[in-house]
Structure 1
Amino acid sequence: MALESNERPDKPITKFESMLKTDDVYFFDAEDFEDIVHHYLNNGKISLAKKGIKIGLQQHPCSIELKLLQVEVMVFENHLENAEKLLDELEMLDRNNEEIYIQRANIFSKKDNHAAAVSLLQKALELTTDSFDIYSLLGMEYLFMDDFKLAKESFMRCVEFDNEDYSSLYNVIYCFEFLEDYDGAIYYLNEYLDKNPYCQVAWHQLGKQYYEKRMFPEALTAFDFAIISDDTFIGAYFEKGKVLEKLGKYKEAIENYETTINIEDPTSHAFLRIGKCYEKLKNKEMAKYYFYQTVHEDPLLDKGWLAITNFYYNNKNYEKALYYINKALNIDGENPLYWKKCANINYALENYDQADFAYKQVVDLGNYELDTWLKWADVAHFNGDTLSALQILAQGREFYPKNLKIIYKSVGFNLIIKDFINARICLLDALKLDKKRKQLQLFNKQFPQYSNSEWINTILANYKKAS
């Protein structure tokens, strides 16, 4: 039975949930049902939203707004065909309802037809006086299309409607950053702050833009204003700490990182930064303590294991460094920098087989730095495979065709395998680049057994006469 109004709970949500627990049936206005369904959708309670729609349509079978909410749920659950059929019916009843076009746009977006979605949203704009949500949806569609300029303009309109719409503000800055227009972002944020001088979010974002431009004093000022606006703003303290590190003020940086820990539960990233600061202050014990705190707080943070690796590597404790770099590799085995560290450690330990494998991983993963080729070639040579060392140098020379370290090393390795023809070719290539022989010591230092040989001296003398 339906209850009289004086028998019902005051709030629609409470009243609705009370009804679900009993056999009683409460009567609601259609607007109440809309509020109930919106509440559950906003809180991710889809099953309760569907119950609200079902009961609402039983009481108000002609409510277009409730049917549009039913469409929204269908789209969310990917029942797109059913949603389109219902929209066709609704459009026959009300062609000028902007929500119909918005839901059709959502369907096209789900189908990755973002251009069609944009077209429908623009039609919706023509029919509404409340365009805030539509501009937000347009901004997202433009992001999907990688049109960051139009996305930025759409989100800017959202911020104009509501200067506390921080989600849109973040999206505006994201677009500026993607376009690498840091000056534009700074100008926009300063204009925004002229109207909203106590907005900690805007100050924080402004500081990050100055940081990107390496304008560290300006960034520091911006983060200070963010903290003045909200002295519990952890992000501002953390970013301020990073700026202070850049300025070499490590003790002050530590204080800011410690503040983030005092405000909220400690984070592995704060511990890691504190450890790095102590390392710069040459306080090895405190650095080590905080690096271990980092991985204790988050054992899956590979950067924490890398920090411990570097700590031991820099202190020439290669056995421990090897143990910890393997921890990092277990978390991210596709990181060429971790494999390179592993290779360098094995190189230092004279584990040349393992070093050879690690350098191969480095190159396979796309790291083509000069010292990678040089050290990998040395490792192959130390393993007794000088021919492979020459092949490695030949690959490296494709990336660094005029690098004398590679060419002089190729001369020496060719001499070792008694390939005098290729040794001579490489030496002449080197001399063409090293006209004043300033870099010849690279060869003499690594291959002293050949530095004063008759073979070398003859080529040098003949080259000098010819030139």
Structure 2
Amino acid sequence: MEFSRDDNNNLPLTKFESMLKTNHVLFFDSEEFENIIHHYLNQGKIALAKKAIKLGLDQHPTSINLRLFKVEIHVFEDKLVEADELLNELHSLDPTNEEIYIQKANIFSKKDDHEKAIEVLKKALQLTDDIVDLYSLIGMEYLFLDKFEEAKMYFMKCLESDIEDYSALYNIIYCFEFLDQTEDAIAYLNIFLDKNPYCEVAWHQLGKQYCILKDYKKALTAFDFAVISDDTFVGAYLERGKVLEQLKQFEEAIENYTITLKLDDPTSFALLRIGKCYEKLGNHDLALQYYDRTVHEDPLLDKGWIAITKFHNKKGNYQKALYYIKKAINIDAENVHYWKLYSQINHRLKFFEEAESGYKKTLELGNYELNTWLSRGDLLIKLGEPEAAIYNFEQAIEFYPENAEIEYRLAGLYFLLNESDKGTFHLKNGMKQNIDYAFILDELFPKVSNRVQVKNLLNPNL
């Protein structure tokens, strides 16, 4: 029995807490102690639960249930040897008590011996009529082993025994998704819904499966039924909004996101999506208002700051864009895309050193796109750092061998440093790969392109 502060069932709890304050020992029957301990464990008050167990065993030393609570505390505190010894003792006293097997399985699970845990739980199944929890525990152990088919089967058994066990339903869908069995998940959910047509969770999950298949019309229908089943289901409105965005029905999407703001506290996700929809509709003032509300609601949501960054970037307000991209990077400094956007904005503002530094960080984070190498190298040339530019392009050529754009840049740099042999080598490579990119020398190295040696290499027939 769970105690509540608002009913009359909490008398033993009140009496127990009064006893703790006065140090005057009072008598409780074993069931009262069990309820008190259960209450404290549910509340996460382990110290009080331990006190209740000790006092309970002082008064009822032979109570197996109270000793099982002691086992539970041992397991929680990772005292697995003590827990195991006590369980063996209890098993000899009551070999048909399924809770002993459950705690034994818990110890095996803690030791990562999930196969043994499953074996013990299956024995417990033969000792109890309360099979739903055991099916769930077995399913979880199979999940730990990445045996998703077996896990799925046991979670299905849970749902067969209790159609309102939504945690089992979620776990079943998780298994289907991990196994990439979208069509099977849809078939299962449709059968389930034939028997339980007003299960909003099942409709919601069905809609998400159709989204995976990009069948947005069927997804929308499923989310409609989820809302019909429960018109306060925030998740269904959010999913409807996302699908309506995919169908380019932005005004209807806004309506659904707005409903969620009225049903519950505003979420940064809904505010952000409303802003995106208004931007798609060309209503830039409202878009910016909602982006501002997004970051006000959740200042640590980097996607909100990025939305504002991109908004100002498109408008050509690069100073503002730079201010907001820095906010996003402060939240997620390991995001390659943010650093790339940071570099591009600095480049447009002619803050070349900052732009180069951003591209360098982008490369360090593993973004090896050709354009990143070229942009950084060109900035190093502009900044008068030819040696660093050469090092950059020689790294690039390892990823993009026989690339004319890189070869012409290396040629220009080596000629600039009066290393004619290396310059000639790279220029010939560039010409062999694509003569049309020779304009790179004129653009980046005008003094080099006017040299007689370079002109002769480019036009051997003159």
CA contact under 8 A between 1:16 and 1:26: conserved in structure 2? no
| Paired AA for residue 385 in structure 1 | E
In the aligned structure 2, how far is the partner of 1:287 from the partner of 1:418?
55
**Aligned counterpart, 2:378:** 378
**Aligned counterpart, 1:251:** 251
In the aligned structure 2, how far is the partner of 1:113 from the partner of 1:196?
37
Deviation sequence 1:360-383 (CA, Å, 0-9, x none): 211111222222112111111111
Secondary structure (helix, strand or coil) at the match of 1:168 reads helix
**Aligned counterpart, 1:296:** 296
Deviation sequence 1:57-111 (CA, Å, 0-9, x none): 3443322222112211221233333222211211221233332222122123223
**Aligned counterpart, 1:105:** 105
Residues 72-91 of structure 1 mapped to structure 2, 5 A cutoff: 72-91=72-91
Is residue 2:14 matched to residue 1:17?
A: yes
Query: Percent sequence identity over matched residues?
Result: 52
**TM superposition shift of 1:49:** 3.5
**Aligned counterpart, 1:236:** 236
Evaluate the alpha carbon distance shift between residue 33 and residue 19 of structure 1 in structure 2; reply closer, same or farther with a 3 A threshold.
closer
| Paired AA for residue 239 in structure 2 | E
**Aligned counterpart, 2:168:** 168
Evaluate the alpha carbon distance shift between residue 68 and residue 256 of structure 1 in structure 2; reply closer, same or farther with a 3 A threshold.
same
**TM superposition shift of 1:229:** 0.9
| Paired AA for residue 15 in structure 2 | S
Is residue 2:195 matched to residue 1:195?
A: yes
In the aligned structure 2, how far is the partner of 1:110 from the partner of 1:52?
25
**TM superposition shift of 1:451:** 7.7
Residues 291-370 of structure 1 mapped to structure 2, 5 A cutoff: 291-370=291-370
Q: Give structure 2 stretches of 5+ with no counterpart.
A: 1-6
| Paired AA for residue 323 in structure 1 | Y
CA contact under 8 A between 2:114 and 2:144: conserved in structure 1? yes
CA contact under 8 A between 2:412 and 2:441: conserved in structure 1? no
CA contact under 8 A between 1:13 and 1:36: conserved in structure 2? no
Evaluate the alpha carbon distance shift between residue 214 and residue 113 of structure 1 in structure 2; reply closer, same or farther with a 3 A threshold.
same
In the aligned structure 2, how far is the partner of 1:429 from the partner of 1:122?
70
In the aligned structure 2, how far is the partner of 1:250 from the partner of 1:133?
44
CA contact under 8 A between 1:19 and 1:26: conserved in structure 2? no
How many positions carry a matched residue from both structures?
Answer: 450
In the aligned structure 1, how far is the partner of 2:66 from the partner of 2:357?
64
After TM superposition, the structure 1 stretch with the greater mean CA deviation from structure 2, 382-391 or 394-403, is: 394-403
In the aligned structure 1, how far is the partner of 2:162 from the partner of 2:411?
69
In the aligned structure 2, how far is the partner of 1:425 from the partner of 1:125?
77
In the aligned structure 2, how far is the partner of 1:252 from the partner of 1:102?
50
In the aligned structure 2, how far is the partner of 1:18 from the partner of 1:207?
51
**Aligned counterpart, 1:3:** none
**Aligned counterpart, 1:217:** 217
Quote the RMSD (CA, aligned, Å).
Answer: 2.9
Deviation sequence 1:207-240 (CA, Å, 0-9, x none): 1222222221121111111111111111111111
In the aligned structure 2, how far is the partner of 1:456 from the partner of 1:191?
75
CA contact under 8 A between 2:121 and 2:138: conserved in structure 1? yes
Secondary structure (helix, strand or coil) at the match of 1:21 reads helix
In the aligned structure 1, how far is the partner of 2:405 from the partner of 2:51?
74
Normalising by the residue count of structure 2, what TM-score does the alignment of the two structures yield? 0.87
Deviation sequence 1:119-176 (CA, Å, 0-9, x none): 3333333444433222222232333333333333332222222121111211222222
| Paired AA for residue 342 in structure 1 | Y
In the aligned structure 2, how far is the partner of 1:445 from the partner of 1:150?
67
In the aligned structure 1, how far is the partner of 2:393 from the partner of 2:179?
39
Evaluate the alpha carbon distance shift between residue 385 and residue 296 of structure 1 in structure 2; reply closer, same or farther with a 3 A threshold.
same
In the aligned structure 1, how far is the partner of 2:10 from the partner of 2:399?
67
CA contact under 8 A between 1:139 and 1:155: conserved in structure 2? yes
Is residue 2:388 matched to residue 1:388?
A: yes
After TM superposition, the structure 1 stretch with the greater mean CA deviation from structure 2, 123-132 or 452-461, is: 452-461
Residues 404-443 of structure 1 mapped to structure 2, 5 A cutoff: 404-430=404-430, 433-434=433-434, 440=437, 443=440
**TM superposition shift of 1:427:** 4.6
Deviation sequence 1:169-226 (CA, Å, 0-9, x none): 1122222223333223222222222221111111112212222222211211111111
| Paired AA for residue 69 in structure 2 | L
**Aligned counterpart, 1:5:** none
In the aligned structure 2, how far is the partner of 1:452 from the partner of 1:196?
81
**Aligned counterpart, 2:41:** 41
Secondary structure (helix, strand or coil) at the match of 2:333 reads coil
| Paired AA for residue 151 in structure 1 | A
CA contact under 8 A between 1:411 and 1:424: conserved in structure 2? yes
Evaluate the alpha carbon distance shift between residue 306 and residue 160 of structure 1 in structure 2; reply closer, same or farther with a 3 A threshold.
same
Normalising by the residue count of structure 1, what TM-score does the alignment of the two structures yield? 0.86
| Paired AA for residue 368 in structure 1 | Y
In the aligned structure 2, how far is the partner of 1:455 from the partner of 1:177?
64
Residues 127-142 of structure 1 mapped to structure 2, 5 A cutoff: 127-142=127-142
CA contact under 8 A between 2:405 and 2:437: conserved in structure 1? no
In the aligned structure 2, how far is the partner of 1:158 from the partner of 1:425?
71
In the aligned structure 1, how far is the partner of 2:209 from the partner of 2:412?
50
**Aligned counterpart, 1:283:** 283
**TM superposition shift of 1:320:** 1.5
| Paired AA for residue 18 in structure 1 | K
In the aligned structure 1, how far is the partner of 2:442 from the partner of 2:286?
40
| Paired AA for residue 21 in structure 1 | S
CA contact under 8 A between 2:12 and 2:36: conserved in structure 1? no
Secondary structure (helix, strand or coil) at the match of 1:146 reads coil
Q: Give structure 1 stretches of 5+ with no counterpart.
A: 1-9
**Aligned counterpart, 1:122:** 122
